[in-house]
């Protein structure tokens, strides 16, 4: 298969990184100010596309976590707790508008720090982050209407921990509903993608949110554990791996803390012979290669009806050959850098497992940059349901394909994983869509599309994909007591 650049000879279209300001180091955002940690230790945040250091981030200590929780408690019991929903809403609108004003800078930093293509940061991550604040701003003064007759009250201080795949967007998913409902927040971004959360701290300052309402502290997993274990936290919102989710659930058993856990996934993307195959191929590509496959709801298991299996794979391989892998800052790029060397190792380990398990391996020819962490789009056909590449979350651009003959068979196979986060169905028949959506054990099911997100729509999983919903009215309920 020839490379796209040979087909199309696209000139590079790099985004201008001078449009973004990144400080040489960042302190912790506590009580409305950037403050130094008592110990003052720092770690480096690098650009995964060239391994260069972008900035230094503060490693929080237990004392810093305690200070942040105290600031959040004080704000909750003080000014913020007394504010009307209408006034809270105004702050959220303000944050949303400033995100829009700074959209270009935020998109650049998101791509530099995390490796995702600038087109995705610009068109998906940042606009959706603003949309979440706008959406929940609208709810802040309407909680009584959302839950008529139930007198909703905020829970108190929310402790929130988020992953590295959608850093700013996950921060927005967490902070916006918490504030709309009148809570205060202590949040920790993932260690290797803290920069846009720290930029959000600057935005929050600019919006003049009362001090302590949002505290953004950085560091490794043990800082997350310290937030979750802090006795004065009332609500936990965690997005991350199922392994850490299980640890969290164990650690809060028997406490007063409420929790929502948004964990891993292994979504089935199901193609019937009556689907529009070219559209389905776009949906397959978007399902698994979007954001390098670092997507909890990625369509990482493909089920194709046997009669069209070979044709779909032929078209898919052709399309994979046109995907441009490389510089995330180039607007032509489809697949950017893998987020970290550790994640690349995990992906390569699973590619090795797939080969050993006897599946047929395919990657289009593409030349990868010398520095940085890269993985071409990868396809395994002849996969068995019991193979580890069909059961375990890889969190990379690796697709495991199986064929099926009957509707019952594909429903059984699709439901046969420990996860239940999302699924996709491609068919011309509405009745088939309704049949499948009622039988697939997945929190989100897309029909004739994939990986579409909207703040009005609840998102969350079944089984080991976690519990609780974010987004929509359901997302409010997670931050309220009745």
**Which sequence positions are flagged as catalytic?**
262, 296
Contacts to ligand NAP from residues 175-204, by CB under 6 A: 188, 190-191
Residue 194 interacts with Mg ion (CB under 5 A): yes or no: no
Residue 172 interacts with ligand NAP (CB under 6 A): yes or no: no
Given a contact cutoff of 8 angstroms between Cβ atoms, the answer to whether 480 and 142 are in contact is: no
Give the CA distances from residue 94 to residues 100, 106, 482, in Å, rounded to whole numbers and listed in that order.
10, 16, 28
| DSSP for residue 290 | G
Element (H, E) at 469: none
Tell which one of 200, 203, 225, 277 touches ligand NAP (CB under 6 A). Answer: 225
Choose the stretch contacting Mg ion; rule: CB under 5 A; options: 171-179, 192-200, 271-279, 426-434.
192-200
Choose the stretch contacting ligand NAP; rule: CB under 6 A; options: 221-229, 313-321, 330-338, 379-387.
221-229
Report CA torsion sign: 436, 437, 440, 446.
positive
Closer to ligand NAP by CB, 263 or 442: give it. Answer: 263
Separation between Cα atoms, residue 340 and residue 347, nearest integer Å: 11
Given a contact cutoff of 8 angstroms between Cβ atoms, the answer to whether 54 and 46 are in contact is: yes
Give the CA distances from residue 458 to residues 24, 173, 446, in Å, rounded to whole numbers and listed in that order.
38, 11, 13
Tell which one of 137, 161, 233, 440 touches ligand NAP (CB under 6 A). Answer: 161
Residue with the CB atom nearest ligand NAP in the bound state:
224
Instruction: Read off the tokens for 128.
Output: 């959706």
Choose the stretch contacting Mg ion; rule: CB under 5 A; options: 79-87, 113-121, 180-188, 435-443.
113-121
Closer to ligand NAP by CB, 15 or 393: give it. Answer: 393
Tell which one of 4, 35, 45, 111 touches Mg ion (CB under 5 A). Answer: 45
Residue 113 interacts with Mg ion (CB under 5 A): yes or no: yes
Q: Which residue has the tokens 């937030």?
A: 227
Instruction: Read off the tokens for 237.
Output: 């919102």
Each residue of 119-131: b (16+ CB within 10 Å) or e? Answer: bbbbebbbbbbbb
How far apart are CB 239 and Mg ion at their closest, in Å? 18
Cα three-residue angle 204-209-213, rounded to 5 degrees:
95
Residues 6+ apart with CB under 8 A from 409: none
Supply the DSSP string of 42-67, one letter for each residue. EEEEE-TTT--EEEEEE---HHHHHH
Closer to ligand NAP by CB, 233 or 304: give it. Answer: 233
Separation between Cα atoms, residue 344 and residue 279, nearest integer Å: 30
Q: Where are the alpha helices (DSSP H) in 181-241?
A: 195-206, 221-229
Closer to ligand NAP by CB, 165 or 332: give it. Answer: 165
Taking the mean position of all CA atoms in its chain, how far away is CA 170?
Answer: 6
Residue 165 interacts with ligand NAP (CB under 6 A): yes or no: yes
By rule CB under 6 A, what count of residues binds ligand NAP? 30
Residue with the CB atom nearest Mg ion in the bound state:
113
Residue 72 interacts with ligand NAP (CB under 6 A): yes or no: no
Instruction: Fill in the per-residue mask, 308 to 347: x = in contact with Mg ion (CB under 5 A), - = not in contact.
Output: ----------------------------------------
Given a contact cutoff of 8 angstroms between Cβ atoms, the answer to whether 259 and 468 are in contact is: yes
Contacts to ligand NAP from residues 384-403, by CB under 6 A: 393, 395
Which segments of 315-434 are extended strands (E)?
360-362, 378-381, 398-404, 419-420, 422-426
| DSSP for residue 124 | I
Instruction: Fill in the per-residue mask, 434 to 473: x = in contact with ligand NAP (CB under 6 A), - = not in contact.
Output: ---------------------------x---xx-------
Q: Which residue has the tokens 């969190």?
A: 395
Tell which one of 192, 332, 402, 427 touches Mg ion (CB under 5 A). Answer: 192
Closer to ligand NAP by CB, 244 or 316: give it. Answer: 244
Q: Where are the alpha helices (DSSP H) in 84-216?
A: 85-101, 103-114, 118-120, 126-139, 143-146, 167-180, 195-206
Q: What residue 316 binds from Mg ion, ligand NAP, none (CB within 5 to 8 A, per partner kind)?
A: none
Q: What residue 224 binds from ligand NAP, Mg ion, none (CB within 5 to 8 A, per partner kind)?
A: ligand NAP
Q: What residue 421 binds from ligand NAP, Mg ion, none (CB within 5 to 8 A, per partner kind)?
A: ligand NAP
Classify 189 as helix, strand or coil.
coil
How far apart are CB 209 and ligand NAP at their closest, in Å? 22
Tell which one of 154, 177, 265, 283 touches ligand NAP (CB under 6 A). Answer: 265
Contacts to ligand NAP from residues 331-390, by CB under 6 A: none
Residues written for the chain: 482
Tell which one of 31, 59, 125, 262 touches ligand NAP (CB under 6 A). Answer: 262
Tell which one of 106, 259, 296, 389 touches ligand NAP (CB under 6 A). Answer: 296
Q: Which residues here bind ligand NAP, judged by CB under 6 A?
A: 161-165, 188, 190-191, 220-221, 224-225, 228, 239-241, 244, 247-248, 262-265, 296, 393, 395, 421, 461, 465-466
């Amino acid at each position: 298969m020839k490379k796209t650049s040979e087909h199309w000879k696209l000139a590079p279209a790099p985004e201008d990184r001078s449009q973004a300001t990144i400080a040489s180091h960042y302190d912790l955002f506590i009580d409305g100010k950037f403050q130094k940690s008592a110990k003052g230790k720092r770690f480096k945040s690098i650009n995964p596309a060239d391994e260069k250091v972008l900035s230094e981030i503060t490693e929080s200590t237990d004392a810093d976590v305690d200070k942040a929780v105290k600031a959040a408690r004080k704000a909750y019991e003080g000014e913020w707790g007394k504010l009307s929903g209408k006034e809270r809403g105004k702050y959220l609108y303000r944050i949303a508008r400033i995100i829009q004003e700074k959209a270009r800078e935020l998109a650049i930093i998101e791509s530099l720090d995390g490796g995702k293509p600038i087109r995705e940061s610009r068109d998906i991550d940042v606009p959706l982050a603003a949309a979440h604040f706008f959406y929940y701003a609208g709810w802040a003064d309407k909680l009584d209407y959302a839950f008529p007759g139930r007198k909703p009250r905020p829970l108190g201080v929310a402790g929130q921990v988020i992953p590295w795949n959608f850093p700013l967007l996950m921060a927005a998913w967490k902070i916006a509903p918490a504030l709309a409902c009148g809570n205060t927040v202590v949040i920790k971004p993932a260690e290797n993608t803290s920069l846009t959360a720290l930029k959000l701290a600057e935005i929050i300052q600019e919006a003049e949110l009362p001090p302590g309402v949002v505290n953004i502290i950085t560091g490794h997993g043990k800082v997350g554990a310290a937030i979750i274990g802090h006795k004065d936290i009332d609500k936990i919102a965690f997005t991350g791996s199922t392994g850490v989710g299980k640890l969290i659930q164990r650690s809060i058993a028997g406490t007063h803390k409420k929790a929502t856990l948004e964990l891993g996934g292994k979504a089935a993307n199901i193609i019937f012979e009556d689907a529009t195959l070219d559209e389905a191929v776009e949906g397959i590509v978007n399902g698994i290669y979007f954001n390098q496959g670092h997507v909890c709801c990625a369509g990482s298991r493909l089920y194709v009806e046997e009669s069209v299996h070979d044709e779909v794979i032929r078209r898919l391989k052709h399309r994979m050959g046109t995907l441009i892998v490389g510089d995330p800052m180039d607007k032509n790029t489809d697949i950017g850098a893998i987020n970290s060397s550790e994640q690349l190792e995990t992906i390569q380990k699973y590619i090795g497992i797939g080969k050993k398990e006897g599946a047929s391996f395919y990657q289009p020819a593409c030349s990868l940059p010398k520095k940085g962490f890269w993985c071409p789009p990868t396809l395994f056909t002849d996969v068995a349901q019991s193979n580890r590449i069909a059961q375990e979350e890889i969190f990379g651009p690796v697709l495991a394909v199986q064929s099926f003959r009957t509707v019952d068979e594909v429903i059984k196979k699709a439901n046969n994983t420990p996860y239940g986060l999302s699924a996709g169905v491609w068919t011309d028949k509405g009745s088939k869509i309704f049949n499948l959506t009622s039988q697939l054990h997945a929190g989100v099911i897309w029909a004739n599309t994939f990986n579409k997100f909207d703040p009005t729509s609840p998102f969350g999983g079944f089984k080991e994909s976690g519990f609780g919903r974010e987004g929509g009215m359901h997302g409010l309920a997670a931050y309220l007591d009745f």
